[in-house]
C-alpha cells in the first residue's frame, strides 16, 4: 500500500492527463498554463479549471531546464535585527507577486576576514542552486569587482541592500542617508537647539558618512550653531557621550547615526544627572524594534526598510526580465521620515 504522501503525489496530474481529458494537445495545455496570448480565453479557462481539479503542479525543475530560469532568487540577509526582517518581508512580497521564490541564506557577524570568506561561500552555494539573481547585504562595501568574479561570469544579476558597492557593477537599494541627516538637523533647528552634538560612528562606513554629510550641510549656514563631533565606533559611543556631556557648555541635543547607540547615551546621561527628554534631546536612526523599551521613547529616523526590500526585488526583477538595457549600476534610495518621540524636545523644556 502506498504511503499517504506518495499516493497523493501519484494522483497529481501532468500535462498529458489534462490534455486527454479536454481533448486538446499538450502544447495547448502548456501555453494556457503559462499565460501565452495565442490561446483562446475560453480554452485557457477550461485548462485552468481542469488543472485545479486534477491537482496539477508544474515541475519547476523541468521548467528551469527548458527556459534557463529557476524562478528562484537568493537572499543573503541576516535576521538578527527587526530592520533586516522588514527588508526581507518587502523582498518576499514583490517576489511572490511575480511568482518567484526566495531562497534565504542567513549569514551572521564575526571578524571581517571570516565574514568575507563565509559570504563568498554562501554566494557560491546560491549560484550552484541556479538562482536567477541574488539580493544581499554585503559585509564590506569596499570589495572590488574581482570579489564577485563568479557572479559576473555566470551572468547573475546582483543587488546590494543598505551598503552600496561603488567598486562593482551591483545595483543598490537603500536609504537616502544624506536626506535623513538633513531631516534631523532641520528638526533640531526648528525646536531651537543651537548647541548640538553628533556621535558619527565609524567614518569609513558610507551610511554613517552620508548621514553626517547631510546633517552638517544643513547646520553649516545657520548662525550661532555650536556643533560638537565625536568620531568613534559604535562600542565607544558611551565614552564619547561622556566627554561631550561633561563639558561646561554641553550640547542640548545629540544625534546618533543608529538606534543601537541610544542605550549608552541614556546611561551616561543618567550617571551625570542629565534627564533625556528634558535636559537633553537624543535622536537616533533606524526605528529599531529593539529600542522601543527605552524611556523616554527614542526619537528616530524611519528608513522604511519594507520599501527598501521591495525596491531591491524590483531592481533585480528588471535585470532578470531584461527590462534594463544598460549595464551601469542603478540605485533606489528611499527617502526617510523622522519619528517624533519623547526624547526630542525644545531646549530648556
CATH number at residue 266: 3.40.50.2300
Q: What pLDDT score was predicted for residue 63?
A: 55
Task: Give the mean pLDDT of 287-301.
Answer: 91
Q: Do 193 and 162 share a structural domain?
A: no
Q: Do 161 and 240 share a structural domain?
A: no
Domain total of the chain = 3
Has residue 255 been placed in a domain? Answer: yes
Has residue 231 been placed in a domain? Answer: yes
Query: pLDDT tens across 193-245, in order?
Result: 999 999 998 888 899 999 999 999 999 999 999 999 998 887 788 899 999 99
Q: Indicate the residue among 263, 280, 303 that finishes a domain.
A: 303
Has residue 250 been placed in a domain? Answer: yes
Has residue 339 been placed in a domain? Answer: no
Q: Which residue in this structure is represented by grid cell 570589495?
A: 143
Containing domain of residue 91, as a range? 67-175+305-334
Has residue 344 been placed in a domain? Answer: no
pTM (predicted TM-score):
0.80
Band (110; pLDDT cuts 50, 70, 90): very low
Q: Do 236 and 276 share a structural domain?
A: yes
Q: What pLDDT score was predicted for residue 95?
A: 92
- Where helices occur in 156-236 by DSSP H, the ranges are 177-191, 206-219
Q: Do 91 and 12 share a structural domain?
A: no
Band (333; pLDDT cuts 50, 70, 90): very high
Band (296; pLDDT cuts 50, 70, 90): very high
Q: Do 299 and 184 share a structural domain?
A: yes
Q: Do 289 and 205 share a structural domain?
A: yes
Reply yes or no on whether the pLDDT at 185 is more than 70: yes
Reply yes or no on whether the pLDDT at 49 is more than 90: no
Give the lowest-confidence range in 75-84, 245-254, 327-336. Answer: 75-84
Has residue 341 been placed in a domain? Answer: no
Q: Do 296 and 193 share a structural domain?
A: yes
C-alpha angle 89/92/93, rounded to 5°? Answer: 90
Sheet with 72-76: strands ordered across: 101-104, 72-76, 133-136, 158-161, 171-175, 331-334
Q: Do 147 and 100 share a structural domain?
A: yes
Q: Do 52 and 14 share a structural domain?
A: yes
Q: Do 252 and 135 share a structural domain?
A: no
Has residue 343 been placed in a domain? Answer: no
Strands annotated E in the chain: 72-76, 101-104, 133-136, 158-161, 171-175, 195-199, 226-230, 253-255, 281-283, 300-302, 331-334, 337-339
Query: pLDDT tens across 299-313, in order?
Result: 999 999 999 999 999
Q: Do 118 and 27 share a structural domain?
A: no
Task: Give the mean pLDDT of 141-159.
Answer: 89
Q: What pLDDT score was predicted for residue 227?
A: 95
Q: What pLDDT score was predicted for residue 6?
A: 38
Q: What pLDDT score was predicted for residue 272?
A: 95
Q: Do 99 and 9 share a structural domain?
A: no
> The domain spanning residue 37 has which CATH number?
1.10.260.40
Question: Average pLDDT, whole number, for the chain?
Answer: 86
Peptide bond into 10 cis (omega under 30): no
Neighbours of 221 (CB within 10 A): 7
Has residue 116 been placed in a domain? Answer: yes
Amino acid at each position: 500500500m502506498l504511503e499517504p504522501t506518495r499516493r497523493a503525489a501519484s494522483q497529481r496530474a501532468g500535462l498529458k492527463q489534462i490534455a486527454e481529458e479536454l481533448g486538446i494537445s499538450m502544447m495547448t495545455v502548456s501555453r494556457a498554463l503559462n499565460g501565452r496570448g495565442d490561446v483562446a480565453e475560453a480554452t485557457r479557462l477550461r485548462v485552468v479549471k481542469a488543472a485545479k481539479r486534477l491537482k496539477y503542479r508544474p515541475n519547476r525543475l523541468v521548467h528551469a531546464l527548458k527556459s534557463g530560469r529557476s524562478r528562484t532568487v537568493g537572499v543573503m540577509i541576516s535576521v538578527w535585527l527587526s530592520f533586516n526582517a522588514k527588508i526581507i518581508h518587502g523582498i518576499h512580497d514583490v517576489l511572490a507577486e511575480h511568482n518567484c521564490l526566495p531562497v534565504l541564506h542567513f549569514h551572521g557577524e564575526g571578524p571581517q576576514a571570516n565574514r568575507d570568506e563565509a559570504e563568498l561561500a554562501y554566494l557560491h552555494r546560491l549560484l550552484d542552486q541556479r538562482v536567477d539573481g541574488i539580493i544581499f547585504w554585503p559585509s564590506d562595501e569596499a570589495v572590488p569587482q574581482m570579489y564577485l568574479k563568479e557572479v559576473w561570469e555566470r551572468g547573475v544579476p546582483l543587488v546590494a541592500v543598505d551598503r552600496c558597492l561603488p567598486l562593482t557593477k551591483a545595483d543598490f537599494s537603500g536609504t537616502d542617508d544624506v536626506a535623513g541627516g538633513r531631516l534631523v538637523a532641520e528638526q533640531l533647528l526648528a525646536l531651537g537647539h543651537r548647541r548640538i552634538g553628533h556621535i558619527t560612528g565609524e567614518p569609513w562606513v558610507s551610511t554613517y558618512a552620508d548621514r553626517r554629510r547631510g546633517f552638517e550641510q544643513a547646520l553649516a549656514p545657520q548662525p550661532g550653531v555650536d556643533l560638537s563631533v565625536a568620531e568613534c565606533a559604535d562600542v565607544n559611543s558611551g565614552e564619547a557621550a561622556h566627554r561631550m556631556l561633561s563639558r561646561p557648555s554641553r550640547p542640548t541635543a545629540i544625534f546618533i547615526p543608529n538606534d543601537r547607540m541610544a542605550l549608552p547615551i541614556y546611561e551616561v546621561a543618567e550617571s551625570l544627572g542629565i534627564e533625556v527628554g528634558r535636559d537633553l534631546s537624543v535622536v537616533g536612526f533606524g526605528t529599531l524594534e529593539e529600542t522601543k523599551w527605552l524611556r523616554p521613547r527614542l526619537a528616530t529616523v524611519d528608513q522604511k526598510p519594507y520599501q527598501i526590500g521591495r525596491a531591491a526585488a524590483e531592481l533585480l526583477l528588471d535585470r532578470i526580465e531584461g527590462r534594463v538595457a544598460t549595464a551601469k549600476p542603478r540605485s533606489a534610495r528611499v527617502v526617510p521620515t523622522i519619528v517624533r518621540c519623547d526624547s526630542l524636545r525644545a531646549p530648556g523644556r
